[in-house]
């Protein structure tokens, strides 16, 4: 859920026009063939006998060389990020949302606003979409959570000194930061971006995903058209500090890269009637504030990234729309 709508508050990190940027552990779950003379007695007169497995040996060698040329085997990882709007409207839409997640079959699920739930309860729910591993960064306020089909190693649950906090965990060989930033506290994004950058520099792939509560410069034409800027000295300016914290450190935003026309993740019919009266009110608030950032090596393996904006289903379960990404990575041997 986002606080308020319309133009962002004034800040020092504004950019005009198209100015370009620089670029816990989870719960317990779960020799050589003999060479022969082939009949030669003096090395000249005896006739060599046939070798019945020579063809198979050559075939095996061919397959081995072919695989070596193709590189290591790869595997596909399906990633889902979703701000759940008070855990699917205070659990009223939980069953429907759960059914949708089961149908999608993701390997990794990042959630925000996981209210009315503790970690054992989340673990029980995650089993229903096939995940034996589930963790939360806290159980009060506005928790973020991660579930996975692979074991999860919790590296940090950061709460103190932050508005909502974040979760840093490792699963499927990826360091995952699940975040929920406050729109007027870009310093929190900078702090997480610095941590994530250090992990990348240590040679590990990284995902940072969640509700960023901020805009991204790639959407500026849309933001300008829909009045999501702030007028200053006769010009419309935009605050991109939260997402620039990651772009400036080399991270790639996957939806911007693969589906640049998916221009909103917030503003669904679930806002009616508490937060909006009509669909016109809802549509006036639509913009992207949820993102999936990947380290450059991981981004190279991204095959697709999109926002599901089906108002007949997911738009009724949460005020945010889910993001789905498909990553291709080297398979574990």
* 37-93 tens-digit pLDDT: 343 344 333 444 445 444 545 544 444 444 444 444 569 999 999 999 999 999 999
Give residues with Cβ within 8 angstroms of 22, minimum separation 6.
247, 248
3-state secondary structure of 99: helix
pLDDT at 186 over 70: yes
The residue length of the chain stands at 333
Task: Report strand pairing: 144-148 vs 133-136.
Answer: antiparallel
Quick one: what percent of the chain has pLDDT higher than 90?
Answer: 74
Domain extent listing, the chain: 71-330
**Which uninterrupted H or E stretch holds 247?**
helix 241-247
Given a cut of 80, whether residue 283 has pLDDT beyond it is yes
Tens digits of residue pLDDT in 191-207: 999 999 999 999 999 99
Q: Please choose, from the candidates 232, 211, 214, the residue with its C-alpha nearest in 3D space to the C-alpha of residue 223.
A: 214
* CATH architecture, domain defined by 71-330: 4-Layer Sandwich (3.60)
More confident residue, 331 or 87: 87
Give the model's pLDDT for residue 233: 86
Torsions phi, psi for 59 (to 5 deg): -65, -45
pLDDT bin (cut points 50, 70, 90) of residue 331 is low
Of 38-42, 147-151, 213-217, the poorest mean pLDDT is in 38-42
Q: pLDDT category, 107, cuts 50, 70, 90?
A: very high
Q: What is the pTM of this model?
A: 0.80
pLDDT of 165 above 70: yes
Is the N-terminal amide bond of 61 cis, ω within 30° of 0? no
Q: Tell me which residue has tokens 């909502």.
A: 164
- Give the pLDDT band (50/70/90) at residue 330: confident
Is pLDDT larger for residue 120 or for residue 64?
120
At 23, is the pLDDT very low, low, confident or very high (cuts 50, 70, 90)? Answer: very low
Strand runs labelled E in 124-262? 133-136, 144-148, 153-158, 166-171, 174-180, 206-211, 230-232, 235-239, 252-253
pLDDT for position 74 = 60
pLDDT classification of 210: cutoffs 50, 70, 90: very high
Whether the per-residue pLDDT at 32 is higher than 70: the answer is no
The upper half-sphere exposure of residue 36, i.e. CA atoms within 13 Å in the direction of its Cβ, equals: 9
pLDDT band at 1, cuts 50/70/90?
low
Cβ count within 10 A of residue 154: 17
The answer to which of 31-35, 193-197, 212-216, 327-331 has the lowest mean pLDDT is 31-35
- Per the structure block, which two tokens stand in for 293? 């950032």
Render pLDDT for 288-315 as a digit per residue (tens, 0 to 9): 999 999 999 999 999 999 999 999 999 9
* Per-residue pLDDT at 26 exceeds 60: no
With beta carbons less than 8 A apart as the criterion, state whether 245 and 208 touch. no
SS3 51: coil
**Mean pLDDT estimate for the chain:** 84
Percent of the chain with pLDDT over 70: 77
């Amino acid at each position: 859920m986002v606080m308020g709508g319309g133009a962002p508050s004034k800040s020092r990190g504004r950019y005009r026009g198209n100015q370009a940027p620089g670029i816990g552990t989870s719960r317990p779950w779960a020799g050589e063939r003999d060479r022969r003379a082939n009949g030669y007695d003096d090395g000249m007169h005896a006739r060599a006998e046939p070798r019945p497995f020579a063809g198979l040996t050559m075939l095996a060698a061919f397959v081995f060389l072919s695989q070596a040329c193709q590189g290591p085997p790869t595997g596909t990882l399906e990633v889902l990020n979703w701000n759940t709007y008070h855990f699917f409207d205070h659990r009223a839409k939980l069953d429907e949302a759960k059914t949708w997640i089961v149908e999608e079959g993701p390997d990794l699920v990042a959630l925000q606003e996981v209210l009315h739930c503790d970690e054992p309860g989340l673990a029980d729910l995650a089993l229903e979409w096939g995940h034996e591993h589930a963790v939360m960064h806290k159980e009060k306020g506005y928790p973020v959570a991660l579930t996975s089909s692979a074991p999860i190693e919790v590296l940090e649950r950061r709460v103190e000194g932050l508005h909502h906090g974040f979760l840093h965990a490792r699963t499927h060989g990826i360091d995952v930061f699940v975040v929920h930033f406050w729109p007027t506290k870009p310093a929190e994004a900078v702090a997480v971006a610095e941590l994530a950058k250090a992990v990348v520099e240590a040679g590990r792939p990284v995902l940072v995903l969640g509700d960023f509560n901020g805009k991204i410069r790639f959407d500026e034409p849309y933001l300008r058209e829909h009045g999501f800027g702030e007028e200053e000295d006769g010009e419309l300016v935009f605050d991109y500090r939260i997402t620039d914290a990651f772009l400036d450190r080399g991270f790639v935003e996957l939806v911007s890269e693969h589906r640049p026309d998916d221009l909103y993740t917030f503003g669904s019919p679930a806002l009616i009637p508490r937060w909006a009266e009509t669909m016109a009110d809802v549509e006036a608030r639509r913009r992207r504030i949820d993102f999936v950032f990947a380290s450059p090596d991981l981004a190279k393996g991204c095959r697709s990234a999109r926002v599901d904006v089906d108002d007949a289903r997911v738009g009724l379960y949460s005020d945010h729309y889910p993001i789905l990404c498909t990553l291709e990575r080297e398979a574990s041997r």
